Chain A
Amino acid sequence: MMQSPDLPDIEQRIALLCERHGCEPRRLLQILIDVQEIYTFIPPQALTAIARHLPLPRVSVEGVAGFYSFLSLEPAGQYRILFSDNVTDRMLGNEELMRQFCNKLWLEPGKVSEDELVSADFTSCTGMCDQGPAALINGWPVTRLNRERIDLIADLILAKSPVASWPPTLFEVNDNIRRTDRLLDESFEPGSAIKAAVTRGAEAIFTELKLSRLRGRGGAGYKTAEKWITCRNSPAPARYIVCNADEGEPGTFKDRVLLNRLADTVFEGMTVGARLLSSAKGFLYLRGEYRYLLEKLEEILARRREAGLLGSNILGEPGFDFDIEIHLGAGAYICGEESGMIESLEGRRGKPRNRPPYPAQHGYLDQPTVVNNVETFACAAMIAVHGGKWFGETGTWESSGSKILSISGDCHWPGIYEYPFGVSVQKILEDCGAQEPYAVQVGGPSGILVSWQEFERSISFEDLPTAGAFTIFQRGRDILEAVRNYAHFFAHESCGFCTPCRVGTQLQKKIVDKIANGHGTASDLEELKHLGHLMRTLSHCGLGHAAPNPVLDMLQKFPGAYEQKLTSLSFEPAFDLDAALATARRITGRDDPSAHLP
């Protein structure tokens, strides 16, 4: 443990900070994020002071601070660089760049430099897969990293130049919209959807929503109208609207583009929802990786308040009060799970709740709450304006409308592609210039690994459901390495609450590592299947249910990826036993026969 530095005025600063957040325990995560912005980490004195002001037991404050991976309880350096570690970043050479960076600054990955100036580590996908390798520097995204950029960054750090004055080109994030359809084609006039909701009435909009057959765009595909009606029919003093912008599924980045381009449409969808459900309060849960969008989004909210599209008496309608608060995440994939998100909004660890009851009945502060994906709200706004029939004209019967895909990996033109539902994988691969495609991970690690023999399958809820990730692997790519990356991802992101997932993801990671390291056997494959079955059936939430997906898909569809790595049919140790004695041989200077193992 490092000595915590002397921070003479910390008491007053924390007191002011807590006051600014109304000393509300549900604002705890936001308070902690602010503390980290001030001190670059969360000093122990801050935990004690926050606990006193909210008031909460200190252990709860520390428990929350310890849960989110962007929050650091120990000094992490004046400059903290987190290399995005999605499989696409790997394919673009992020490990080599990390080595280069660490060599240049005399760093060890995961440790802060001795002068406490800088630290470097890996983090889960930062949502820049179409312009990677990417990293976060003190929370700000840098894209298209290469040797020159790494040298430049290292020099800037050595010169102790403040991040705010670094060349803006480093932080350039492109939208890369390559194909548009229904949603992105249509221009949207702020206020038009709310106007439609007010003039036509809630019932008419519900009818349009039903007619549109809109299903949730987060991947699970629950019927939006049904969810909203359940929420409306649950008697309660208050209802809440939550927009899920915790786009954590590796390989997904379309919500980043939607919020950058179509924030008005998204907010408008939420406001239409508020009108239909008589909700007065909404949240946008923005993942920590997209913190850089916060100021822009706040500006848009402010503009909408001025235009009478948020606040009290929206569009002059007496009693139509609704406002949106942006809540920042801090690096926890599990908060994308709707009940984990609600826990996080209430200021706690993002541990999923038991479902049922579903949030539509018991959600935020135990009140009926609609949680929908960014894209779903944008669709809802468009449906309010153009009608359900217009929306349902494209796509398939089960999957109406269009889907925005985040395409990355081995292709010429990675980026955002909007297609009507029902489009085939083959067509997408042709459009984005994929050469010799071999496999596609549809829907990220928790989705489906599609092999070249299945490219006729279609993007739709009835065939290949997806929240948008579409990661392409060309012939020659090591599928086992990709699956290993995903297994590590799940082990890192498991919230640790239930044993099947906490232990299962670790065991799965170990066995996949064992195979990749050349110690695997046929019995390990059986163990992976058995483990996968346990995790799917016994885990508490979707993370554990989905964690075995890439592994089981590989076992079934890509025998070539692991078969040649297996050593025997029976069993092999997970490690080289003789090598594990090497340290003791060196210490004792022994080399006799009993100092070795066959």
Chain B
Amino acid sequence: MRRSFFRKNLVTALLLAPAALWLVVFLVLPFVAIAIFSVGERAPEGGYQAALTFAQYANLPARATAFWNTMVLAPIGALACLLVAYPVAYYLALRAPDRWRLILLAMIVIPFWTSLLMRTYAWMYILGGRGIPALLTYVGIEDLRLINTPGAVLLGIVYGYLPLMILPIYVSLERLDRRLLEASADLGATPLSTFLGVTLRLSLPGVMTGFSLVMILLLGEYLIPTLLGGGKVFFIGNALVDLFLQSRNWPFGSAIAITLVLVSVVVLIIANRISTRLSGARRVDLI
């Protein structure tokens, strides 16, 4: 009896060991490493020199523009995504004909899993000098600048993250008890008040999940501001690439990375609080 108990535990440990090792070596240790780096100093030739100082954190305002751009454009981008995504999710969950639903859903998921680089490149192509601006010269609008503007970055954000916003909202709307809608209508509610009081209210957990997911991924975004914002609209991700790969100020970069993770955690906690208040959080399957 005791032997089989031991064997059962051994099997469990063997099953979990590779994943545990991976998580420790490539997630926990690296995180500890940048936490240590963030309280260090920059070596004269670049890289890291051991120290215990909060100078790197005190220096964060030096990259205030990157933080400002990210903190302004990420929520706006997530909100814009939400405004476009909600009607689509609503249609897919409650209005689409049954035989179309799965096909349309697949058509939403596919872009999410295709290269963000290639999809952002497509917009670079469209908004760039030989795309829409070239077409507009035919109708007399000259010298219109579309690429390398905050608007272009926002467009790229909505394009890139729309699928991720639609899916959780779809999931929460699809599980909605249709009888509640009928009950609301039977009790004399107008379609608008049914929507506001029942549909929207019950889909809020999905909205929160989508919003926080998109928001967190946007906080670390690099490709979209780089390709569609040129050198003009840069995010925290751009500052990090610069500090680690060009100016090699690793301690300062680590401090920024830690700050970024802390902000993400705060966003997640707030979103979680709101979701649990609005009736239990729900699972989201990304596929």
The finding on whether chains A and B are genuine partners in a shared complex, rather than unrelated, reads: no
